[in-house]
Structures are given as C-alpha cells and as structure tokens.
Structure 1
Amino acid sequence: MERPGLPPQLLPALQALASEVGVSRLALVGGAVRDALLHDEHCDPWRELPDLDLVMEGSASELAAALQRHYGDERVQEVRVHGAYGTAELSFDGVLLDLAGARQDHYPAPGENPVVESGSLERDLERRDFTVNAMALELSLSGDREPLLLDPHGGQAHLERRELAFLHASSVADDPTRVIRAARYGARLGFVLTPSSQDQLRTTLKRWPWSWRHGQSTEHVPPALGTRLRMELELLFENEPWLKALELLQQWGALALLDPLLSSNATLIRRLRWAMRLKVPLILALVAAATDPCSLGQRLQLPLRQQRLLEESMSLTNWLHSEVLPQAWVGWSAVQWTEALETRAWSPESVVLTVAMGVPCWRPMLRWWGRWRKIRSPLSAKDLIASGIPAGPGLGLALHQARVKALDSMR
C-alpha cells in the first residue's frame, strides 16, 4: 500500500512484529481506508495522510512496546499507552499511529458513554459512525498475501454515491455527536446524508430521547450532549470548512442539539463570519447566539475564561437594551462611549463578542474596541509633575482630563 508520506517499511514492520507479540489479526481502519478508496476507485485528489488507525485482535500496548524495542527511540517516539482502554499512540518515522485492541460496546442509555469490552475485528467495525468509516484493510501477518478489504456494511456503495449513512437505526440516539461528524465529513468530502439517515436524525430530535432537556440544570447532562459535543464542534471549527458544515447542520435542523433557536437563526452564519473577522473564537460566537448562552456554555464545559466572557456579554447586552437603546445614543461622543463602557469594567473581549452578535449600536462599540480604548493622555505623569501638579489624586484627575481632551477630538 504505497501512499505519499507513508514510509514503505511501516506496514511490513507492524505485520512482522504483530505475530511475535501474539496478535492474531491486524487491520488498518477509518479515514485512511476511506480516503485511499476515494483516491484509487473514484479519482478523488489524494488528501494529506491522516493519523493511521490500526485495530488488532491482541494487545496494542505489547505491539507498541515491541516497536519501541526493535526500532529504538529515534524512530519510535511519543509513545503513550492507555491500559484501561486497550490503546496506544506513537509516532513511527514521523507517522502518527493509533493502535487499539478490537472492541465491542453497548450504550446503557442514549447519550451516555458506551460500555466497552474486548471483541473481534468485525464487532469493532460495528461500533463505527458511518458505513464509509466501517471498512478495514486486514493485513497479512505472514506477508504471503495482499491486504484484504473488509466491507460488511456496504461502505463502498455509499462511497460511490458520495453518501453518509449511519451504521445503526439508533446511531443518533446513542451518540448525537455523530451528527456533528456528519457535517464535518459532508463539508470536507462533499458527501450528503442518505434519506434514511436524515429521517433518523429528524425522528430522534423530534422525540428527544435523552434524559436531559433544554432548560434543565446542566448537572446531569449526558456526555454526548456536553463535553463530547464541544470537542466535535472544536474539531469542526479548527479543521473543516466550517461555513459549509454549519449550513448543513442548519439545513438538517441539527443545531437543536445545542439550542432550538440556533436552527432557525437566519443571521447565524453572518454573525459567525463577522466573529471570524474580529478574531472571536467561533465556538464562543456560536454559543453566544443561543437562547441562554451562559447555560449552554456550562453544558458544553467551555473554558472558564470563555464562560466569564459570555456572562459579561449578557450583562452588557442587557445594559444596552435597558439603558442605552431607549436613549438618543446615536449622538453619543467617543468620550461618552468610552466612559460608559470603561466605568462598568467590561473587558474588550466581551465588548467585541457583543459587537459580533449584531447589536444595533455596534459601530461606536467597535470604534471603542479598535481605537478609542487605546487612546492615552498625551502627557505623562512625569510631564504633569514637572508642570507643577503634585503627585496624588489631582495627578490622576489631570491625566484623565488630558485623555478626555484627546478623545473629544475623535469620531
């Protein structure tokens, strides 16, 4: 299996050492198999070599240790073994490998983490999200035959039609993060959800099978509606054509997983474009457009810094609607806006987040963020003391008045 960026000795090395440590079957799975078939069979351009995922009937940690012993620390680096999960990660000749023992799982309740136990290669493929990701290239441990393609769920047919099909009738209920992955693959590969997969998505969202519901305390949120959902969204914004992915999620009505308001928000895409220009983290801008941003931020377990920005932005928005917009704010000067924003100690990040959300008075707030807040007194404290103003409260007042005078000349 020759591929750009794939050292020719890598797979033979794995095959040779696997049998030595008692591995009975070894297979390449996941995106590498899918993308190779797209390139070889359907003339897609070759995509950058992803991390290689290998599943085995045997011990991943023992295979990782054998690779390290045989090839040394110069060629085998960054070894991390996760014994509780039966997995290992390492870099071999610069290629990242994820090794895992074959597993099978079941979900005790919709949206919860699965219960995982050892299984066969075929049972491991049953755990996947889409048929196009449930194919494997089984490698011969004796080296006496070419790799064998395993496709028990019809992934090749869906590749040919450029379709994404959930693997099971309960795929979305078991793990709603699969919907975000569908949007990621759809945006990256140009694939569409099959009609039956769209029906499953709509039906699942309509009956909302998860124990937690919107508006309830975030204390008992299932992992797939909380932290794992955030991780998928982070991957979407960091690694994918996020604009197309979000359009797909809105088209499918899938943003209801986050908040019902987001699916019907006609200005969401425009706001996120604006947020990107202002260098606002896109996941933060997405959450800020929800009905209750602070609650959603808690549910997704955003970093505490981002949760505080959401709280500040909500406070700022409430102040704008209750005290500013009812007034003749259009005529406010740079000094008035600066004093109004700075005396309430809202951070610049929360102000620009609020601007990205499209409040009516966004123009002067943007000017404050981009220019006015950076204006300082043209005279330093040293200059003022030299002019006869003694150190103390009067000096601070003089500095403030000098800054106000500088601001007063700005628009």
Structure 2
Amino acid sequence: MASSNPAAAARPEADPPVDPPIPVPDVPGADAGERGLPDRSDLTLAQRAVVDASVIADLGLRTGIASLVGAAMLPPVIAGVLRGNDLRREREHLRFYADLAAQRDAEASFPAPTAAPRVSIQPSNPIARQIAHGDVQHVQFQSSYEARNPEMRNLWRGLNRNNVVHAQHWRHDDGPHPTLCVIHGFLGSPYLFNGLFFSLPWFYRTGFDVLLYTLPFHGRRAERFSPFSGYGFFSNGMAGMAEAMAQAVHDFRSVLDYLESTGVDKIALTGMSLGGYTSSLIASVEDRLQAVIPNVPVVNPESAFDDWWPANKLVEFGRHASGISREEAAQASAFHSPLNYAPKVPKDRRLIIAGLGDRLAPPEQAEALWEHWDRCAFHWFPGNHILHVSQPEYLRRMTRFLRPVMF
C-alpha cells in the first residue's frame, strides 16, 4: 500500500550519519555470508579482541539475569514440591501447549483480537518530549487477552496491572507517518533507555513515527509488589511463561489495530532480546508488518536455559520433580517459539541482527532463526548482548533496509 502522507513520501538520496547513542569502539561487523556467521578465522585481530572481551563481560551479565530469572522461578518450584498436585497440574498444562504446538498453526495458537481496543491517550512526560523533539503520547487500554489454557484463565483475569496495555507513541504533527515499533528486552522496559539505546530520536527525525510497546509484567504492567520489572514472566511456571508470550503477541496485535485506526498504513517492528523473540513470533501471525528486525533474539528458550546458571538448575529440578522429560518440555515451549511457525512477513522484509560475543542470547539462536527464515538478511556485530559494538553501522543497515519499504 502506498503511503498517503506526502511529507513521508520523499526520502533523502543518501543515509544521513548516525552518532552512536553510547560510546562504543568503532570495530565494524558485516552481513553474514552464505554459510551464516563468520568463523573466528575470518575475523580481523580487532574483531577477535572485541568478541573475546565481550564474551567475558557477557558471562557476568548472564549470571546476573539468570539469578533474577531463578528468583522468579523459585516460588512455583518450591510450591510444586510441597504440593504434589501443583507439579501434576504443571505437567498437564505443558501437554496443552505441546498439543497446540504440534499443529504448527500460528493462528490457532495466537488468535487475533476480536474487538478494537478502547484507547486512552495522554501527553507523555516532558523528558520524553524533549528527547524526541516532538509530540509524545502515552497510550493505554484494557487488554482483551484471555488465557489460551482454560485452566489458567482465573489466574490471568486477576492480574489487574498486567492486563492494562501501555505504549509510548512519538507522532509528527503533519499526520501519521510510517511507524517503527520497538519491543524492549527482559528487565529493559524504561522508555528513556530504549529511546536512547536504539537512537530513536534519529529515526524520528528522519521521518518515522515511533511506538515503544511494554511487554506483559514489565514497567507499569508489573503486578503490585513484584520485586522487579519482568518478574511475572517467570513466576507462574512454564505455563505462565507460555501465556505471557501469547499475551505479548495478542496485545501487540491490538496495538496494530490502534495504529491503523489513526491512519498509519506502514508499520515495521524491531525488538531486542526478549523483544527480539516476541517480534519474531509476531512475524509468524501478522501480515500487516512491512518489515521485522529481531535484534539479538532468543528463539529456542529450552536450549538457552541450559547455560543460564543458576536458573538452569531450577528448570532441571522442576522437570525432575514433576516427571517432565526434556523432550516434553521442548514440545511445550515450541508453542511460543518462532521456529515452530512459518513467517508471514516476506523474506525480503526480514533482517536479523546478532552479536558474536553474546552469551545471553548466543548467536547460534539468531542463526537458527536465519535458517528457519530461508536465510534472509542477517547482520552481525562483534559485541555482546548489551555492548553493541559498531552499533552506528547496524543502525545504518537498518535504515538502508527499512527506507525502501516504508517510504
């Protein structure tokens, strides 16, 4: 569909320069080759040094985040051990998700919202408007999500804060523009952090409207007395994680309904880490996206958890206590893995970004998505999960990728 906005129709002949939002070494990455990510022998000495240093730094980060995930998982594991019925119930829940996953039908797993959201819009805080140098609005509405598993519905209906969807919308004054949607990672919900990390003011100045979407259980959606943002993603067991992912997809589809109601006709989606996972999954159910760019995504949580000490020990103990085999757990988690579904976004509209030194979402995860997505565009950088070395280069890569399809 052609853009109806004359102001957005014109685009510059060359990509404007991008200043890095954080001080990072200028050690460039590149697009992957026919075989995928480069071998170590293919890297320059500077790239190898950055990758090695990034790996060491990321191991500490992974342990810290895995400890928080473990803290969230501990209560349901202890409760399950003390009350055997809970473990048996969890096993029944996982069979439910495994049966859905076995159909490999994304629409059956993630049905679309049946009603448009009733949106409340308020001006955002002055800091956000100052950063964007434009109009910034806070968007919220009641989620219409109903838990996929009937046995989880009473629990989900009682999650009052989680069931209110929040987003921040940066809009131009001359009407709707092509919109770049951004989904944050686990723990990383603050709009300010994401706006600066992804250099969103620059994207806004080059003609994009921007929408930052808050995942379930994060930020304002965290339930009262949650010890940290994102706690609820893992505090209701593996069935709770499956429902949280399903709600993330459902609520974002409602956000798309809202954007369309305002006249937006071109929407691209990117996300980092858990947001990359979510954006990959959304690309399996949504054909309204012009482009999708998962950034350092996890796409197979079962294999990722294997290295997430100490959370991996709790996962292993929970499986053993409930009599769930690793194969059964993998079959259930396939319900919310993008590797289980065919993407609806065309191949030439998909771009994956990965860090060679990433050990929280190892590059092998992104490479598995690349294989599943028919070896689409694939860019690597020599940093880790947080330190995105050569970020200016991949921001330019994103721009070159997006502008032909968005403007």
Same fold (TM over 0.5): no
TM-score using structure 1 length: 0.24
TM-score using structure 2 length: 0.24
Larger Rg: 1
Name which structure has the greater RCO, CA cutoff 8 Å, separation 6+: 2
